[in-house]
Amino acid sequence: MVIGIILMLLVAWWLSLSKQVLPPTPLSQSATISTNTSSLGNTPNQSSTSKVAPPSTAPSLPKSNWIDSKMAEMLAVWNSANGKSLDFYGKVVDQYGQPVTGAKVQGNVMSIHSMTQSNDKIYLTETDGSGLFKFIGLHGVELGIWPQKEGYVYNLKLPSRRPDNYQPSPDNVVTFTMWKLKGSEPMIHARIHAYIPCNGAQTSFNILTGKSGGNLIVTLNRNPVNIDRSKPFDWTITISLATGGLVKITDLYPNEAPINGYQPSLTINMPANDKNWSHSINGSYYFQSGNGQIYGRMIIKITANFQPPPTFFGADIYANPSGSRNLEFDPAKQINQ
């Protein structure tokens, strides 16, 4: 993203320069330069009385020198960006807040070499007994950070780069949370890909197979039922789980279901006048079923604007049928239904 912003600024700067009237090109200039400069649109202007302005007596700069000077300016911008100090102080902890010692921390330093090319250099360090690490003396556009250790996982969708406004100091430590694996257990992986009515009629699914008929009940109301897809509309969906419940996932790692907090049903309202209105929703939830005999997690996907009805409902489900709250999934241990 940083490269993209810098490149856009450089392109905008270059285009602004292209609007300037360039010095006359000597006839001895090469055909390539002549073609390039003519594409800049430097056509002489005439006044409304068709009087031609007298020739300028100011000395002209050879175009090759002008291009060289502008390239030098661009190189200066790149060198400035590549010279940014990337000093950084960090700490690695596990899901319980305990320091992770001996973790390898990879630092990726990005630098720019042209308007279309960048380069990454990799640096490695290791956390100490308090989980602390640092990168000192590195320079570049951006620093990416990736902690790694056997028996732990780190989700790179979490913060994994040096913040733009970071002020380096041993007292200003950025924390990275890894998940200490407990060991995967046999689990079920089921998917739902279905079409549900929009008039409030119930549709049920088996939470362990994803097939129709079961304890996962979905109800969607749309007003009007037949919609104009170009306009917002009121809609509501309710998802309930018989002999169990659901709770929204807010954890960094959804690898262990909570003990409590489950609700028998959840309802999502989407009024047409909501400033954040959308015709679709993606949500992640833990669930408990069979009065605590099954724990799991699911990713629910709803697209409410299919016209004519029915509309789309989908879910990606991981369930541990042993009664354990451990949701660390290993495809090699998947239970086939």
pLDDT digits (tens, 9 = 90+) for 13-47: 544 544 443 333 333 333 332 333 333 333 333 33
- 172 and 196 assigned to the same domain: no
Specify the pTM.
0.71
pLDDT at 64: 66
pLDDT tens string, the chain, 337 residues long: the values are: 555 655 555 555 544 544 443 333 333 333 332 333 333 333 333 333 334 444 445 455 555 676 666 666 667 766 767 888 999 999 999 999 999 999 999 999 988 766 555 678 999 999 999 999 999 999 998 999 999 999 999 988 887 889 989 999 999 999 999 999 999 999 999 999 999 999 999 999 999 999 999 999 999 999 999 999 999 999 999 999 988 999 999 998 999 999 999 999 999 999 999 999 999 999 999 999 988 899 999 999 999 999 999 999 999 999 999 999 999 999 999 998 7
pLDDT at 133: 98
Per-residue pLDDT of 80-117, as tens digits, reads: 678 889 999 999 999 999 999 999 999 999 887 665 55
List Cβ neighbours of 190 (8 Å cut-off, separation of 6 or more). 206, 207, 208, 209, 210, 317, 319, 337
- 173 and 192 assigned to the same domain: no
Side chain identity, residue 228? D
Is 280 within 8 Å of 302 (Cβ atoms)? yes
What strand order describes the sheet that includes 280-289?
Answer: 245-248, 280-289, 294-303, 311-320, 187-196, 334-335
- 158 and 92 assigned to the same domain: yes
- 162 and 244 assigned to the same domain: no
- 240 and 325 assigned to the same domain: yes
Q: Which residue, chain included where needed, has tokens 């068709």? A: 50
- 175 and 287 assigned to the same domain: no
Give residue 110's domain range.
88-180
- 159 and 196 assigned to the same domain: no
- 194 and 172 assigned to the same domain: no
Number of folded domains that form the chain: 2
Side chain identity, residue 95? Q
Q: What is the CATH number of the domain that holds 105?
A: 2.60.40.1120
CA gap 19, 71 in Å, rounded: 17
DSSP 117: -
Residue 127 belongs to a domain: yes
Dihedral of CA 239/245/248/251: which sign?
negative
- 172 and 289 assigned to the same domain: no
- 225 and 295 assigned to the same domain: yes
- 163 and 197 assigned to the same domain: no
Where a domain ends, among 111, 145, 180? 180
| Per-residue buried b or exposed e for 148-159, using 16+ beta carbons within 10 Å of the residue's own CB | ebeebebeeeee
